[in-house]
Structure 1
Amino acid sequence: MSYAADLSPQQTWEHLESDPQAVLVDVRTRAEWSFVGMPDLAGIGKQVIPLEWTTFPEGAANPAFVEELRSAVDTDVPVYFLCRSGGRSAAAASAATAAGYARAHNVTEGFEGDLDDQGHREVNGWKQAGLPWRQG
């Protein structure tokens, strides 16, 4: 692992709730934010920072990711990266760490979580944990 830590959605929520500096960066695509939903941090007085790791519909890596991150988030705050199931967010946390974010974390399970035996994302993740979220 080349970043600070892997944390569950529940652990991430606890850190976001207790640390005024903690930031959640959602690295999914614009389509996912619109059609699947996003975490809702309004209840703790925060907003999610949406920042695509890969672009939609191309699926290409966002070449400006680190630059956009630096514009949105200071390097000295704890940053929690979230995607659908934990893969892209791990890559984003690694890239952030390489760019000087010493407190970059990956949210394991992501927003939707892992697939069950029937191919549905109903096993775990932010939504399944009952954490606040809103539809597009």
Structure 2
Amino acid sequence: MAEYAGDLSPKDAWTLLESEPDARLVDVRTRAEWTYVGTADLSPLSKKPLLIEWQSFPGGQRNDRFADELEAADIPKDAPIVFLCRSGARSAAAATLMTQRGYQRCYNILEGFEGDPDAERHRGRINGWKVRGLPWTQN
């Protein structure tokens, strides 16, 4: 069995969320990232991202309740779920875990919300959800 259903570019993830009514976006970053960096704005699709930390801030401990929290959202096991983090690493791990838990269409969003670091090690300039011009909001 594959680790998860596959990787999607941010724009392909948006298209999936737009075209499939049951599709959900799960943002696995930390509360600090959601607050200070922003979140995907799915209001044009009449949806909201599901925010579940993969790791806690500031300690970085793994959220042992991640799968239980996602399962509590009552997402059908055959619904597409796209996982988003800063750059695509935590979201790939989350997609793998939830595939192991029986979810059939878990996708990792390549590039993440902020994308790869540039030559000066700053994110949000080369690629990622924000750079690709997809809707987002900052609290």
TM-score, length-normalised on structure 2? 0.96
Partners of 2:118 and 2:136 in 1: how far apart?
21
Partners of 1:46 and 1:118 in 2: how far apart?
35
1:45 CA displacement: 0.4
Partners of 1:92 and 1:125 in 2: how far apart?
18
Is 1:128 the counterpart of 2:131 in the alignment? yes
Is 1:86 the counterpart of 2:108 in the alignment? no
- Match of 1:89, SS state, is helix
1:58 is aligned with what amino acid? G
Partners of 2:95 and 2:63 in 1: how far apart?
14
Runs of at least 4 residues of structure 1 off by over 2 A? none
1:78 is aligned with what amino acid? P
1:74 CA displacement: 2.6
1:57 CA displacement: 1.5
Corresponding residue of 1:5: 6
Corresponding residue of 2:63: 62
Partners of 1:38 and 1:75 in 2: how far apart?
24
Is 1:23 the counterpart of 2:24 in the alignment? yes
Structure 2: gaps (5+ residues) = none
Structure 1: gaps (5+ residues) = none
Is 1:114 the counterpart of 2:136 in the alignment? no
Aligned length: 136
1:82 is aligned with what amino acid? L
Partners of 1:69 and 1:57 in 2: how far apart?
22
Identity %: 54
1:23 CA displacement: 0.2
TM-score, length-normalised on structure 1? 0.98
Corresponding residue of 1:97: 99
CA RMSD of aligned residues (A): 0.8
